[in-house]
Amino acid sequence: MFRRGGRVRSVRTGGHEAALALALSEPVTNALAGARLRELDRSVGLAQEFSFCGEEMSPEGLLWHGVNLAPVSATDHALEEFGRFQASRARRSSSVVGDRRSVEVLWEHLSGAWGADVREYRWSQPLLLAEDAPALDQVGLRAALPGEEGAVFPAAVAMFREEVGVDPLLGDGGRSYRTRVTELIRQRRTYVVIENGLVHFKADVGALFGPVAQIHGVWVRPTHRGRGLGRAAMAELVRQVRRDHAPQVSLYVNDFNDPARRAYAAAGFRQVGELSTILF
């Protein structure tokens, strides 16, 4: 049995505002899970994907257990409860992601049950926030337009294979991934540099949460790497995303990706935290 005040329960519609307020206490760290929490709002999916520990109107932490498993502003006690709760259940999520220390505490309870399924540990992923974007060369970055899905989709697939290490075309032949790409373009959340019908640079506003736009899916065509395109496009991206979506622009990057880290630093990004991702 869970202790009184520590029991893990589904977030109900009546507790959505309290859950959202907790997530917004750390919007940069919680951008990915928080965006999903806000998207579900008062739908039936809310209880299926989010749980809380503690009191409904003053939770000690949240847990997103959808496509990702992500702790949200959770105390150590809440993380322990979440870990025990999830370890007794079949894994549905394709990754565990969140603040590094929170993931480490959660994983202490999950590793015995889920450890054999791990494909890769990415313990150190610097969480970056853009400061003032420097004045670099203009490279023609713009929001992708409806009708350009045919050019953007191959770039998105190449990015996913390279970054995640799996093929998004497997399973359903890429239909769900194509739907995601199309929807981001429709919402003007995909930014590209296109020349002669080829995408040379791509980045998505993958999550919008409160004042934060979190960038996902950054990709530079291999033939154009090492020429400064990435850093110039990222500097333009910060200005355009602030104009179009949110004042704070963030992203996270693998610590071993030195070229990307140099490009982000040159574009004005500075580290404000550290995330971890465990991939299955």
The whole-number pLDDT of residue 6 equals 55
How is the chain split into domains, by residue range?
8-118, 130-273
What 3-state DSSP class applies to 143? strand
pLDDT band at 2 (very low <50, low <70, confident <90, very high): very low
pLDDT digits (tens, 9 = 90+) for 148-158: 999 999 999 99
Mean pLDDT across the stretch 15-40?
97
Query: Is the per-residue pLDDT at 243 higher than 60?
Result: yes
Domain 130-273, what fold?
Answer: Aminopeptidase (3.40.630)
Give the residue, 1 or 23, on which the prediction is more confident.
23
Contacts (Cβ under 8 Å, ≥6 apart) of 119: 165, 279, 280
What is the overall mean pLDDT for the chain? 95
Q: What is the mean pLDDT of residues 234-262?
A: 97
- The pLDDT score that the predictor gives to residue 1 is 35
Report CA-CA distances (Å) from 67 to 42, 91, 97, 127.
19, 10, 11, 21
Of the listed ranges 35-44, 139-148, 182-191, 199-208, the least confidently predicted one is: 35-44
Predicted model pTM: 0.93
In the block, tokens 């490009």 appear at: 263
Please tell me the predicted confidence (pLDDT) of residue 55: 95
pLDDT digits (tens, 9 = 90+) for 209-222: 999 999 999 999 99
Predicted confidence at residue 275, as pLDDT, reads 98
Helix, strand, coil abundance in the chain, percent, nearest 5:
40, 30, 30
Question: How far is it, in rounded angstroms, from Cα 157 to Cα 176?
Answer: 12
What is the pLDDT averaged over residues 227-237?
96
